[in-house]
Amino acid sequence: MTERKPMIAVLTGAGISTDSGIPDFRGPQGVWTRDPAAEKMFTYEYYMSDPAVRRASWRARADNAAWTAQPNPAHLALVELERAGFPVRIITQNIDGLHQKAGSTPRKVLELHGTMFTVRCMGCGEHGTMRDALDRVEAGDPDPACLSCGGILKAGTVMFGENLDGESLAQAGAIAKACRVFWAVGTSLMVQPAASLCAIAMTEGAKTTIVNAQPTPYDPVADEVIRDPIGEALPRMVAALIAAHPS
């Protein structure tokens, strides 16, 4: 009788996308490391109250590397794992859509912090596409307002100071509880409540591996910690898991 493949939960952070040309935030060359003031653009209070921060945010969105970024070997390795028949669920802190672009089944990717490709009005709640909003910026509007009510437009992402969507968070917690293998990849495990998913998985007995260049608070209690580049480590981990559970 063929052994049942274990359910795998993968929590991904900015580090998995750096090989695709998207800088992380807290690493040695991170966005906030090089320019601490840039953190204001990701903080709800500053964004909503300061037009200068919003104008800077719109310029940054237009220049975001994610518009042209392509999935790297780490993203593709997770696709390979899914296609090998493993029940894989990806919980990502990233907003770049690269997991789906690589070929991971969209319904199996939970975007915990939202997506950069949509906008919503903070007044009436109307949703639209980021591309349409950026077309207005490129046409000369440095801080485009909602066309319906004149309210402030914001990317469909979760900023510091905002609560995560309750349904998404509950779903992520259920995944962490149910998995038998939990990989935390390219995340500092410092941002809550996403980081707490690691603790949930550990409490439920999942074998936990952390793949990150820098130390994380969960390193001392993880089953394995890997410091190798993610684009090398993740394909190796996937190959080993597939070999251990042949079809």
Bond preceding residue 193 cis, omega within 30 of 0: yes
- Return the pLDDT at 6: 94
Q: Point out which residues pair with 211 in neighbouring strands.
A: 185, 226
CB 16 within 8 A of CB 66: no
Out of 41-45, 150-154, 164-168, the most confident range is: 150-154
pLDDT band at 139 (very low <50, low <70, confident <90, very high): very high
Does residue 3 have a pLDDT over 90?
no
Rounded CA separation 108/93 (Å):
14
* SS3 readout for 180-226: CEEEEECCCCCCCCCCHHHHHHHHCCCEEEEECCCCCCCHHHCCEEE
CB 19 within 8 A of CB 65: no
Does residue 120 have a pLDDT over 90?
yes
pLDDT tens-digit readout, 30-44: 555 566 567 888 899
pLDDT tens-digit readout, 79-119: 999 999 999 999 999 999 999 999 999 999 999 999 999 99
- Residue 97 carries which DSSP code? -
For the entire predicted model, the pTM comes to: 0.90
- Average pLDDT on 2-21 reads 91
C-alpha distances in angstroms, 193 versus 14, 119, 160?
Answer: 16, 23, 12
At position 92, the amino acid (one-letter code) is: T
pLDDT tens-digit readout, 64-83: 888 999 999 999 999 999 99
- Return the pLDDT at 39: 81
Could you give the residue numbers annotated as active site? Answer: 113
* Average predicted confidence (pLDDT) for the chain: 92
Percent of the chain with pLDDT over 70: 93
- Return the pLDDT at 26: 59
- Return the pLDDT at 71: 97
Rounded CA separation 164/203 (Å):
22
pLDDT tens-digit readout, 224-239: 999 999 999 999 999 9
- Return the pLDDT at 157: 95
pLDDT band at 194 (very low <50, low <70, confident <90, very high): confident
- Return the pLDDT at 193: 87
What's the full length of the chain, in residues?
A: 247
What number of CA atoms fall less than 13 Å from residue 24's CA on the CB side? 20
- Return the pLDDT at 1: 40
